[in-house]
Amino acid sequence: MSRIETFNLPDLGEGLTEGEILAWLVKVGDTIELNQPIVEVETAKAAVEIPAKWAGQVQAIFHPEGTTVEVGTPIIAIDTDPGAGPLDAPSTTATSGGDLPTPSAASLAAVEVAPAEGMVEPGLIGGPAPGGRTAVLVGYGPRTTAAKRRPRKGAVPAQALAAPAPAVDHGVVVGDKPASSPIVPAPQVHDRGDGATGGPVLAKPPVRKLAKDLGVDLGTLTGSGPLGSITREDVQRAASGTTVTAEPITATAVATSAASFGVDREQRIPVKGVRKLTAENMSRSAFTAPHVTEFLTVDVTRAMKALDRLRGRREWRDVRVSPLLLVAKAVLLAVKRHPMVNSTWAGDEIVVKEYVNLGIAAATERGLIVPNVKDAGRLSLRELADALTDLVQTAKSGRTSPADMSGGTLTITNVGVFGVDTGTPILPPGESAILAFGAVREMPWVHKGKVKVRQVTTLGLSFDHRIIDGELGSKFLRDIGDFLADPEAALLAWT
């Protein structure tokens, strides 16, 4: 058995297909322990530290920080028995200290993923990995079903049979001692059918699989990706009968179309990670669930006074008490009175959930995320306050886990912190309602027959009209408003 174990970027079980390497926590030559965090990866949902599957010595790091890597792609090689002496493989290229070897162009085509029928794709949890092992995350057992992935545009279910990719041995020189460098299989040579052979077909494994599914011959395409590699768009254009010759966009071309402005006055921001997932989810929700939004303006003066009294109590002096806490409590009590609001449209049935995983939209440096408080309806007011504080602090530090952002059933977005009165929020996929909580302002208000300055806010409730009709949505929003207008009276009346 080979001493060199190659660690592939794992599927984190959330249907993710790629991740960006934010930071390497180890370098070549380091001795690591089992389960020691070795790399921080930003997925489409959060930044996650991935632990080592083996103890040993780091022999190679295949991708530098800032690289976006497909799930199942080798990212690091580990010598699991460094005390056994020098490696037997010949030395070819020296890599010292923390230098990061860049894979060659041919290595992009070295692995081809095309799982046989009934098999789990290589790189997925429970699927084959180099050396005949089963790919699992440390602390999780192997499973025999692939993680559910987001469907890609134009994808067709695969039924092709193909052998799994061969294992690859890796090695490097550590310090001044000779060792082996990463050994890459010879690139594929494509036969074009006219007796001539072309160069290697450069395409990532998911692109190759898509081409097989769509019946597209990769050798006939001109790649528009890095190093002339073939992208998904190239394959999809070929499948639809549209051929586009990839031409680089030059500064001259830009200047021709916009002569008044140069490219130095434009900023291009890659769409990836959290921002990419948010865009996909919002687009899917906006054009799938028929949205209806209702608004309600509420005098919350009594609620703000109740918060002041709560802060003054001895047992609450170290607790963060904010208007969001009362809004969350109001939503949870209103759900008990109108349980259909806490449901999911499942095609031929509606799933009404007896638990509330309360999502709180949070703006972070990486984009908008919506972590949720699990089973929030069972928490006391003090427990809810602590849970909200922990959720917000974790989100701002960028340490929210994918599990904390999964399974939400109903969401609150606090746009008031930005000084906004309210909005028309878009439903998170799988949820039937989302509440926008606006800024609390001092405004003239008719109170007991006289115009007085009162503290007022505006609520905006968006809901899925397939599940929630106007009557139900209005009653739910009215109950939230009643609680915020007079929390003590509502608690006495409803509990």
Burial class (CB in 10 A: 0-12, 13-18, 19+), 25: middle
Using alpha carbons only, give the angle 70, 72, 78 rounded to the nearest 5 degrees.
Answer: 115
Residue length of the chain: 495
3-state secondary structure of 476: helix
* C-alpha to C-alpha distances, 454 to 419, 437, 448, nearest whole angstrom: 17, 17, 12
3-state secondary structure of 461: strand
Give the whole-angstrom CA distance, residue 76 versus residue 25.
12
Long-range contacts of 172-175 (CB under 8 A, 24+ apart): 172/28, 172/59, 172/60, 172/77, 172/93, 172/94, 172/95, 172/101, 173/91, 173/93, 173/94, 173/95, 173/96, 174/28, 174/29, 174/57, 174/59, 174/96, 175/29, 175/96
3-state secondary structure of 463: strand
**291 classed as catalytic:** no
Burial class (CB in 10 A: 0-12, 13-18, 19+), 192: exposed
* C-alpha to C-alpha distances, 44 to 18, 47, 98, 213, 279, nearest whole angstrom: 8, 9, 27, 25, 11
Cβ pair 7, 366 in contact under 8 A:
no
Q: At what angle do helices 470-485 and 301-312 cross, to 10 degrees?
A: 50
Residue 477's H or E segment, with its range, is: helix 470-485
Cβ pair 127, 135 in contact under 8 A:
yes
3-state secondary structure of 480: helix
Radius of gyration of the chain (CA): 28
- Please tell me which residue in 190, 291, 338, 465 is annotated as part of the active site: 465
Give the whole-angstrom CA distance, residue 440 versus residue 18.
41
For the chain, the distance separating the N- and C-terminal CA atoms, rounded to the nearest angstrom, is 66
* C-alpha to C-alpha distances, 67 to 43, 100, 176, 267, 460, nearest whole angstrom: 12, 11, 28, 20, 40
What one-character DSSP code corresponds to residue 173? Answer: B
Query: Which positions are catalytic?
Result: 465
